[in-house]
Amino acid sequence: MNRRIILSPDAEADIASAIAWYQRIELSWGSRFKTDTRATLRRIAKFPYQFPLIEGAVRRARLKWFRYAILFSLEKEGVFVQAVVHDRRDDSIWKNRGRL
């Protein structure tokens, strides 16, 4: 069963920022990041429980080719994605956002 993916405005901004960053380094990397993110979101929609709980109801799904993680929780409406962050970012980045 595929669950509906709901991206928070912050998560959308995280993705757009990362794509822009990688495109400045190498144009093709931006599209690769987007592809990797979409593939991970599809895995989350299909098998959300395969990803570990990291704090409370928050789960972490790591991208395959980039050092980023998608932080999400399962809600009645579907999968709520709060953040898409680099592994080296401080946890306070996503913890200070609402809903998680």
Could you tell me the pTM of the whole model? 0.90
Terminal-to-terminal C-alpha distance of the chain: 23
Burial bucket for residue 3 (CB in 10 Å: 0-12, 13-18, 19+)? middle
The edge-to-edge listing of strands for the beta sheet with 78-86 is 5-7, 78-86, 68-75, 58-62, 53-55
Superfamily of the domain at 5-89: RelE-like (3.30.2310.20)
- At 99 the pLDDT is 56
Residue 94 has pLDDT above 90, yes or no: no
- What are the tens digits of pLDDT across the range 9-64? 999 999 999 999 999 999 899 999 999 999 999 999 999 999 999 989 999 999 99
- What are the tens digits of pLDDT across the range 75-88? 999 999 999 999 88
